[in-house]
Amino acid sequence: MFSSFTHQVFEHKTHDLDPRVGNSIVFEHKGVSTSGKVISRTGMRIRVELEGGSSVWSEVKHVTSVKTSEHHSHHDLDGAAEEAAAAAAANKVKAFNG
């Protein structure tokens, strides 16, 4: 039987590194810490726009920090990102329903 104190000591704490479209992130790209903005996400892969305007694919596991915007909402997404989010949601429903 564990006391609540023991449970707190062994509780696993993690940072929220779940980047979403519109988040500014820092991630490892080719061994270099790089910053950018998430412009799309497919599963565990993200498309990141770099400061120079180019974009690269990366994986969520390479993200080292996520900065969310206080004012960001679903309505702030551009049309392409909204379509991608809707398609991803539809695919989840389709997979769930079999």
Question: Which pLDDT tens digit goes with each residue over 28-38?
Answer: 999 999 999 99
What is the average per-residue pLDDT within 58-69? 90
What pLDDT is stored for residue 17 in this prediction?
A: 81
pLDDT reported for residue 84:
65
Parse the chain into domains and list their residue ranges. Answer: 13-92
Give the strand pairing for 24-29 and 63-67: antiparallel
Residue type (1 letter), 54: S
User: Can you tell me the mean pLDDT for 34-54?
Assistant: 95
What's residue 38's pLDDT? 96
**How much is the average pLDDT of 71-92?**
57
Q: Evaluate whether 48 touches 37 at the Cβ level (below 8 Å).
A: yes
> Which stretch of 10-14, 49-53, 60-64, 67-71 has the lowest confidence by average pLDDT?
10-14
The CATH T-level fold of domain 13-92 is: SH3 type barrels. (2.30.30)
pLDDT of residue 10: 39
Rounded to the nearest 10°, the torsion over CA 62, 67, 71, 77 is -20
| pLDDT given for residue 76 in this prediction | 45
